[in-house]
A and B are shown apart, each in its own frame.
Chain A
Amino acid sequence: MKASPFLGPLLVLPALGVILLLFVWPLLYSLVGAFVTGEGWGLGNFAKTVELYRSDILFTFLIVGLSTLLIAVFAVAIGGYLVLGSNPRAQAILRWLYRWPLFIPFIVAGQLMRTFLAKNGLLNGMLVEAGLLTPLQTLSFLDWRGIVIAFVWKQTPFVALLVAGAMAGLDRSMFEAARNLGASRLRILVEIVVPQVMQTLLVGLILSFVIMLSVLSVPLMINAQTPTMITANMAFRINAYGDYGVANALGVISYLMAGAVAWIYLRYAVRERMEQR
Chain B
Amino acid sequence: MPSEAFLDIDRVAVRYGSTPVLHDLSLAVGRGELVALLGSSGCGKTTLLRTIAGFLSPTSGRLRIGERDITRLAPDRRDMAMVFQSYALWPHMSVAQNIGYGLKLRRLDRAAIRAKVEDLLAMLGLAGLGERNVTALSGGQRQRVALGRALAVDPEILLLDEPLSNLDARIRQTVRHEIRALQRRLGITAIHVTHDREEAMVMADRIVILDAGRIAQAGPPERIYNQPASPFVADFMGADNSVTLEADLDGASVVIAAGADHAAARLARDLLPTANTLPGQGTFSLRAFFRGEAAALVAADEAVTGDETEALLLTGRVLAVSYPGGVWRHEVAIGERHFLVDDATCHAPGDAVAVRLPARHLFLFPADGTTKPRGG
> Are A187 and B55 interface neighbours, CB within 8 A?
no
A183-B149 Cα distance, complex, nearest whole Å = 14
> Are B76 and A171 interface neighbours, CB within 8 A?
no
Residues of A within 8 Å of B91, CB to CB, are 196
Residues of B within 8 Å of A182, CB to CB, are 76, 102, 105-106, 153
Residues of A within 8 Å of B88, CB to CB, are 171, 173-174, 176-177
Residues of B within 8 Å of A192, CB to CB, are 90
> Are B105 and A276 interface neighbours, CB within 8 A?
no
B92 at the interface (CB under 8 A from A): yes
> Are B84 and A173 interface neighbours, CB within 8 A?
yes
Residue of B nearest to A175 (CB): B88
Contacting residues of chain A (166-223) with chain B, CB-CB under 8 angstroms? 171, 173-174, 176-183, 187, 192, 195-196
> Are A174 and B90 interface neighbours, CB within 8 A?
yes
A181-B84 Cα distance, complex, nearest whole Å = 13
Q: A174-B90, A195-B92, A196-B91 are in contact. Are A181 and B55 (CB under 8 A)?
A: no
Residues of B within 8 Å of A276, CB to CB, are 133, 135
Which listed residue (A171, A179, A195) contacts B86, Cβ 8 A? A171
> Are B90 and A179 interface neighbours, CB within 8 A?
no
A93-B323 Cα distance, complex, nearest whole Å = 64
B85 at the interface (CB under 8 A from A): yes
- Count how many pairs of residues, one from A and one from B, have CB atoms less than 8 Å apart in the complex: 55
Q: For chain B, which range describes its interface: under 10, 10 to 19, 20 to 34, or 35 or more residues? A: 20 to 34
B225 at the interface (CB under 8 A from A): no
Count chain A residues whose beta carbon lies closer than 8 angstroms to a beta carbon of B: 17
Residue of A nearest to B98 (CB): A177
B328 at the interface (CB under 8 A from A): no
> Are B135 and A181 interface neighbours, CB within 8 A?
no
> Are B86 and A180 interface neighbours, CB within 8 A?
no
A249-B153 Cα distance, complex, nearest whole Å = 60
Residues of B within 8 Å of A173, CB to CB, are 84-86, 88
Name the distance in Å between A148's Cβ and chain B's nearest Cβ.
31
Residues of B within 8 Å of A195, CB to CB, are 92
Residues of B within 8 Å of A196, CB to CB, are 90-92
Q: A173-B88, A195-B92, A196-B92 are in contact. Are A178 and B82 (CB under 8 A)?
A: no
> Are B106 and A180 interface neighbours, CB within 8 A?
no
> Are B101 and A275 interface neighbours, CB within 8 A?
no
Contacting residues of chain B (87-126) with chain A, CB-CB under 8 angstroms? 88-92, 101-102, 105-106
A177-B366 Cα distance, complex, nearest whole Å = 46
> Are A180 and B101 interface neighbours, CB within 8 A?
no
> Are B133 and A275 interface neighbours, CB within 8 A?
yes
A90-B27 Cα distance, complex, nearest whole Å = 36
Q: Bits for B69-91, please: 1 = Cβ < 8 Å to A, else 0.
A: 00000011000111011101111
Q: List 25 A-B contacts (CB under 8 A).
A: A173-B84, A173-B85, A173-B86, A173-B88, A174-B89, A176-B82, A176-B88, A177-B82, A177-B88, A177-B149, A179-B75, A179-B76, A180-B53, A180-B75, A180-B76, A180-B80, A180-B81, A181-B105, A182-B102, A182-B106, A183-B76, A195-B92, A196-B91, A196-B92, A275-B133
A: residues with CB less than 8 A from B are 171, 173-174, 176-183, 187, 192, 195-196, 275-276
